[in-house]
Amino acid sequence: MKNKHKILVNWVGYITVLSLLISCKHHEDEYHSITDKIEAKSKSFHATSTTSELHTKHLNTIKITEGEHTFLIPERTGEITSFACTECHSSPLKEMKGTASKKAHWNIKLQHADEHTMNCISCHNGDNMDQLQSITGTPINFNKSYQLCSQCHSKQFTDWKGGAHGKQVKSWAPPRTALTCVNCHNPHKPHFESKWPVRYNTQKIKERE
């Protein structure tokens, strides 16, 4: 009887030691996958002290809210050489046609969709050159030109709002500043040209030898 008791005590001892060893494997920092880890750790997420402000303070931005997303985009009108347009476009386009006024915008050739789909007035308002206009004629501010693009490119628009299309400026930290469509794409010629790479890959085999 006494012997049995001893064995029992021994077993309890073994099991305690074993479970201690095993429990070491299940540290609270351990997750089965990165998805579990992200999910678990972001439950108690607190905003970080790191912000983007230090890196973006020299930028002139405006705040926009589109759906559930609110973020900053670069201010545009200040970037356009010779804004406001009405400084030259003092009368409606129709009246300026054929007059002896100086030729302007000679370098702009529209290469965007085809002529069935787009011409100048698909985006510009001939009666008020300081504003853009949507397909239905509602005015759109030059600062929010993305609203024009989103009329057709709705998939890209969704991705851009979320952050999968376009570029976040300077910093990964909040608040987020994103480049807007026209910061990368020329609206009159949105396609990217092919070009030579800025440098070449090293010979992989050579390096690994």
- Residue 63 in contact with residue 71, Cβ under 8 Å? yes
Cβ proximity to another protein: between 18 and 104 the closer is 18
DSSP symbol at 103: P
74 belongs to the binding site for another protein (CB under 8 A): no
Token reading at 19: 């479970």
Neighbour tally for 149: CB within 10 Å: 19
Least gap, CB of 72 to another protein (angstroms)? 13
- Which of residues 8, 15, 18, 54 is near another protein by CB under 8 A? 54
Q: Which residues 113-172 are close enough to bind another protein by CB under 8 A?
A: 155-156, 159, 162-168, 170-172
CB of 132 within 8 A of CB of 142? Answer: yes
Helix (H, G, I), strand (E, B) or coil at 204: helix
Span from 79-87, 93-101, 111-119, 174-182 in contact with another protein (CB under 8 A): 174-182
CB 133 within 8 A of CB 125: yes
Query: Residues in the site for another protein, rule: CB under 8 A?
Result: 24-25, 27, 29-30, 33-34, 37-38, 41-42, 45-52, 54-55, 155-156, 159, 162-168, 170-174, 176, 179, 184, 192, 194-204, 207
